[in-house]
Structure 1
Amino acid sequence: MKEIPRVQELDPVLMNPKRFLIATLLYMLGPRQMAFLQKALKLKWGDLYTHLNKLEKEGYIKTVKLITAKGPKTLVKLTEKGTLSYEKLLNNIGKIKEQLYDARG
Structure 2
Amino acid sequence: MTMQELAQAVAAGRVQGFEAISLEGGFYVLQVRLAEGLRPVRNEGGQVLHLRSTTQVREVLRDWASLPCELVQHCAHDEICAAHPTAVQPLRVPLSLEPRE
Normalising to structure 2: TM-score of the pair? Answer: 0.30
Between 1 and 2, higher relative CO (CA 8 Å, sep ≥ 6) is seen in 1
Greater gyration radius = 1
Return the structure number with greater helix share: 1
Normalising to structure 1: TM-score of the pair? Answer: 0.29
Return the structure number with greater strand share: 2
